[in-house]
Structure 1
Amino acid sequence: MKKDLHPKVYETQVRCACGYEFVTRTAIGPELGIEICSHCHPFFTGEQRFIDSAGRIDRFRKKYAGLNK
């Protein structure tokens, strides 16, 4: 095999926004922050949650609040 052909692989500590942490191997780096993981994703949990980081849901509800009348 040729030298310096493959990327360096790190033991990576992955931290999710929900607080879950796990260790895996990647070529990205020693630490990685993610917004959603298998412990908080609706497909894996079976429940629907809205992650609203920019207030989009509140702005939508405020804008169209009068249409239900």
Structure 2
Amino acid sequence: MKEGLHPKVKTVVFKDISCDFQFLGTTTLDSKETVKWTDGKEYPLIKVEISSASHPFYTGKQRILDTEGRIDRFKKKFGTKSATGK
């Protein structure tokens, strides 16, 4: 392999900002923030918006959208036209 061609892989702490969940992993991303992990070492901190701790597929908690309200608002705004023209 050529020298300097591939990025360096580092151990970092990923923090899910939506539920304050942290885990240790590896990445090629850089971060200026650091955090002390449970082993006493300082690691770069990468903030993520969603992880397995907050994703609906893994947690089983799914958000229900207000589809009925949206449909009613659409019908009220644009009306319903029938095929007979009435």
Q: Structure 2 length as normaliser, TM-score?
A: 0.53
Q: CA RMSD in A?
A: 2.4
User: Normalized per residue, which structure has more helix?
Assistant: 1
**How big is the shift at 1:9?**
1.2
Amino acid in the other structure paired with 1:5: L
2:13 paired residue number: 13
Equivalent residue for 1:32? 46
Identity of aligned residues (%): 40
Measure how far apart 1:49 and its partner are. Answer: 4.4
State the partner residue of 2:41: none
Q: Give the ranges of 4+ consecutive aligned residues of structure 1 lying more than 6 Å apart after TM superposition.
A: none
Structure 1 residues without counterparts, runs of 5 or longer: 51-63
**Rg (Cα) greater in structure:** 2
Residue identity opposite 1:36 in structure 2: I
Unaligned runs of 5+ in 2: 31-43, 65-72, 77-86
The equivalent of 2:62 in structure 1 is 48
**How many pairs does the alignment contain?**
55
Q: For each residue in 1:6-60, what CA deviation from the matched residue of structure 2 results, as whole angstroms up to 9, or x when unmatched?
A: 101111110111111001110002320011110111011111248xxxxxxxxxx
Determine the C-alpha separation between the residues in 2 that align with 1:6 and 1:48: 39
